[in-house]
Amino acid sequence: MNLDLLPEDCFAHILSFTSPRDACCTSVVSSVVRSLADLDTVWEKFLPSDYPEILSRIVSPMTCSSKKELFLRFREVVELRTICWLQINGKFNTQMLSPRTDYGVYLIFKFADRAHGLDTLPSEVSVQVGNFKTQGKVYLRRQDKSKQAVESVCFLNRMTAPRSRTQGRDGSTSYSSAPCDREDGWTEIELGSFYNQGGANTEVEMGLKEVTGEHLKGGLIVEGIEIRPNS
């Protein structure tokens, strides 16, 4: 079959059911196929379904010439090379989430080969929604594979790290958690959890920090913060 004779919309529809990697590999077949594989109708399928809303919250306007270019910018990550104080913060609104649902908040990251100083002292993690707050301390260190295999449980193709929790008199929750490798090659650690009652316009604040040590630390590659319903 001559792919060049396949209708443009039909070929684009077929590619949209593949993956970004497959679309890039297909583009080397010919110049005609490359132009079809780069169509916005193909790459829009690979973007998050709520990407227009995500873009609307960006402080600095972002201009992209195509959906493919936009997708590649969604894949950008940050590496903390050499720092003394480590502090990662984020915030969002509960109206973006499903009501009456328990959510967990996770930092998604990797360790670079040159990673150092990250586990000298524990990092403080927290999630706060209104007056409710979960907080704890974690060590950013590579996990022992044999120990992790025994302690971890698999849910929805993700590894959920074991953790312990204590309830405070003020309703806050303190806990300890450990980094856990995911099947997609990244590592995650829980920053906290909360229950979204729904109906209220409430801001959720989350963060990880280690600002007590004066030693140098680096080699932490951060993909972002993920919020997902708890099992």
**Could you tell me the CA-to-CA distances from 41 to 33, 154, 189 in Å, in that order?**
14, 34, 35
Q: Which of 83-92, 125-134, 162-171, 178-187 has the lowest mean pLDDT?
A: 162-171
Residue 64 predicted with pLDDT over 90: no
Q: Which of 75-79, 86-90, 127-131, 205-209 has the lowest mean pLDDT?
A: 75-79
Per-residue model confidence as pLDDT tens digits over 1-38: 455 566 777 877 888 888 887 888 887 777 877 888 88
Q: What pLDDT, on the 0 to 100 scale, is given for residue 162? A: 40
Whole-angstrom distance, CA of residue 225 vs CA of residue 191: 9
Whole-angstrom distance, CA of residue 126 vs CA of residue 38: 41
User: Residue 39: which residues within 8 A CB-CB, separation 6 or more?
Assistant: 8, 12
Whole-angstrom distance, CA of residue 132 vs CA of residue 20: 40
Q: What pLDDT, on the 0 to 100 scale, is given for residue 173? A: 54
Q: Which CATH code for domain 3-74? A: 1.20.1280
Residue 224 predicted with pLDDT over 90: no
Length of the chain: 231
Per-residue model confidence as pLDDT tens digits over 127-139: 999 888 999 999 9
Q: What pLDDT, on the 0 to 100 scale, is given for residue 94? A: 86
User: Residue 146: which residues within 8 A CB-CB, separation 6 or more?
Assistant: none
pTM, to two decimals? 0.60
Q: Which of 1-5, 84-88, 159-163 has the lowest mean pLDDT?
A: 159-163
Mean pLDDT of all residues belonging to the chain = 78
Asked if 90 and 206 count as a contact pair (C-beta separation under 8 A), the reply is yes
Per-residue model confidence as pLDDT tens digits over 181-223: 888 788 999 999 999 988 788 899 999 999 998 899 999 999 8
Asked if 89 and 222 count as a contact pair (C-beta separation under 8 A), the reply is no
Domain range list for the chain: 3-74, 78-229
